[in-house]
């Protein structure tokens, strides 16, 4: 028998996705749980596993093509059925099906998690999607010498990552710009490019950016945010960190100030469970474990991987686990389960020198903590002005579920932990 590999719905907002890369080719053996493809969701590009074992007989959706949620993207031959039989049946089904030449409604679903469903229906192959460039100017259509040679997938990836194709050299056949050229360019830090007088540029929003825009509008329009800010003296914490890093140097582990803040947030949330909660509009659910979302910047977007059960980790484990999550988030290698289930979120712009900011709550959570840069500032101690390392923290809270006094008590507890860092090692 044959089994179709279909795309699951991986988020409430997801309706279609793009097959970015096939890890297997037609004729390859596939093991249960093996990664078969990379699929772009409205949040990230994620790996997709197979639920069944067999031989990859038919790739229904090619790289760069779309498939709707629940729609097939490939077919496995399982049992005694040969791949030739499966191919012939699906070829006949495609010919009998309504013409696939009308690129009209080619839908596609994001993928990151496995999904394979058995069905007897034949499916027409989804035509690959093309994307028009977002550059301010292009070469005339008739000028073969000046026209850029770009693969459709490279053009799409360039549009999503904001890469100017006119500045790239192709490494493909005959100098063709291919996907790896675009990805190499997007991985390299670059200064913003001036458009120049008289020019303009239109940027099409990626699926990720569209999803972010929709979710943030919903959050600000439906959640009555309020904000409270404190300053914590982290001079002693900075000294503690320096001593720990000397002891950990042989292990090539370097603890950051953020790791201590993460530990303090987890401990403070356990003491103040009203903030370690979610709200569905009718009921508040308080959680006994802290699953901390960490806002991570990626090209043209934001991903929030979840550090699960962070309250059970010491500072060293927090460093190792969070570093792994952040690296895989930026490489778009997170599992779907690693982006769900947060009970509270932190957003840190300290690395950019931002002293203070306010963050937008990520529903259904009831709070988010904005962490600024730790800076030396003149502080009054007794009758003297001294230089101390200070950290500004701003809590955004949902006033439907959290009162001002409750939020203030949480911040006071957090400040105490940061200013008495020995408690973070208990």
* Pair 166, 147: CB distance under 8 Å: no
* Pair 109, 7: CB distance under 8 Å: yes
Residues 6 or more apart from 178 whose CB is under 8 A from it?
A: 151, 153, 154, 170, 171, 172
* Secondary-structure class of domain 223-425 per CATH: alpha beta
- The token pair that represents 106 in the structure block: 């080619």
Of the two residues 304 and 50, the one the predictor is more confident about is: 304
pLDDT in tens, 211-236: 889 999 999 999 999 999 999 999 99
Phi, psi of 40 (to 5 degrees): -85, 125
CA dist., res. 113 & res. 152, Å (int):
25
Question: Does position 374 have pLDDT exceeding 80, yes or no?
Answer: yes
CA dist., res. 108 & res. 110, Å (int):
7
Query: Does the annotation mark 272 as catalytic?
Result: no
CA dist., res. 7 & res. 115, Å (int):
6
* Pair 371, 396: CB distance under 8 Å: no
Residues 6 or more apart from 145 whose CB is under 8 A from it?
A: none
Please report, for residues 211, 220, 369, 374, 402, the alpha-carbon distance to residue 226 in angstroms, rounded to integers and kept in the order given: 24, 11, 12, 23, 9
Class of residue 4 by CB neighbours under 10 A (exposed 0-12, middle 13-18, buried 19+): buried
pTM: 0.66
Question: Does position 275 have pLDDT exceeding 70, yes or no?
Answer: yes
Q: What pLDDT shows up at residue 47?
A: 79
Mean pLDDT, all residues of the chain: 81
Catalytic residue, chosen from 135, 225, 272, 399, is 399
Q: Is the peptide bond before 364 cis (omega within 30 degrees of 0)?
A: yes
List the chain domain ranges. 2-117, 132-190, 223-425
Residues paired with residue 384 on neighbouring β-strands, in sequence order: 381
Residues paired with residue 77 on neighbouring β-strands, in sequence order: 2, 55
Instruction: Please report, rounded to a whole number, the percentage of residues in the chain having pLDDT higher than 90.
Output: 46
pLDDT in tens, 136-194: 333 333 333 335 678 878 877 776 666 767 667 677 766 778 877 777 665 555 556 67
With respect to CATH, is domain 2-117 assigned 3.40.50.300?
A: no
CA dist., res. 45 & res. 19, Å (int):
9
Q: What pLDDT shows up at residue 332?
A: 77
Q: Which CATH architecture has domain 132-190?
A: Irregular (4.10)
- Reported as a pLDDT band with limits 50, 70 and 90, residue 17 is confident
- Reported as a pLDDT band with limits 50, 70 and 90, residue 38 is confident
Q: What pLDDT shows up at residue 35?
A: 87
* Pair 135, 164: CB distance under 8 Å: yes
Residues 6 or more apart from 252 whose CB is under 8 A from it?
A: none
């Amino acid at each position: 028998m044959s089994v179709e590999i279909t795309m699951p719905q991986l988020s409430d907002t997801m309706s279609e996705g793009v097959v970015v890369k096939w890890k297997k080719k037609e004729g390859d053996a596939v093991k249960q749980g093996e990664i078969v493809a990379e699929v772009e969701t409205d949040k990230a590009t994620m790996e997709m596993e197979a639920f069944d074992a067999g031989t990859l007989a038919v790739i229904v959706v090619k790289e760069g093509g779309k498939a709707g949620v629940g729609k097939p993207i490939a077919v496995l031959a399982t049992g005694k059925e040969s791949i030739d039989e499966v191919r012939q049946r699906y070829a006949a089904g495609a010919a009998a099906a309504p013409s696939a030449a009308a690129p009209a409604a080619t839908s596609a679903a994001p993928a990151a998690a496995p999904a394979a469903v058995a069905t007897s229906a034949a499916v027409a192959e989804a035509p690959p999607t093309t994307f028009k460039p977002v550059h301010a100017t292009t070469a005339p259509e008739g000028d073969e010498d000046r026209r850029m040679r770009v693969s459709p997938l490279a053009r799409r990836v360039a549009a999503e990552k904001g890469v100017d194709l006119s500045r790239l050299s192709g490494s493909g056949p005959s100098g063709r710009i291919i996907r790896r050229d675009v990805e190499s360019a997007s991985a390299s830090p670059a200064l913003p490019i001036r458009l120049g007088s008289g020019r303009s540029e239109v940027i099409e929003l990626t699926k990720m950016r569209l999803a972010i825009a929709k979710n943030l509008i919903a959050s600000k329009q439906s959640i009555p945010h309020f904000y409270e800010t404190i300053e914590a003296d982290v001079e002693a914490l900075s000294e503690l960190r320096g001593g720990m890093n000397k002891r950990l140097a042989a292990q090539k582990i370097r603890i950051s100030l953020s790791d201590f803040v993460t530990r303090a947030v987890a401990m403070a949330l356990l003491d103040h469970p009203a903030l370690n909660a979610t709200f569905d509009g009718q009921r508040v659910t308080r959680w006994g474990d802290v699953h901390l979302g960490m806002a991570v910047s990626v090209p043209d977007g934001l991903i929030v991987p979840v550090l699960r059960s962070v309250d059970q980790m010491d500072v060293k484990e927090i460093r190792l686990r969070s570093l792994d999550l952040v690296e895989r988030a930026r490489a778009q290698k997170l599992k779907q389960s690693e982006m769900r289930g947060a009970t509270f979120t932190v957003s840190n712009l300290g690395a950019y020198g931002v002293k203070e900011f306010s963050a937008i709550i990520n529903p259904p959570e009831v709070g988010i903590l904005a962490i600024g840069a730790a800076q030396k500032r003149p502080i009054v101690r007794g009758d003297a002005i001294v230089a101390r390392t200070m950290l500004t923290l701003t809590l955004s809270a949902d006033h439907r579920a959290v009162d001002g006094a409750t939020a203030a008590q949480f911040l006071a507890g957090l400040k105490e932990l940061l200013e008495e860092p020995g408690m973070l090692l208990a």
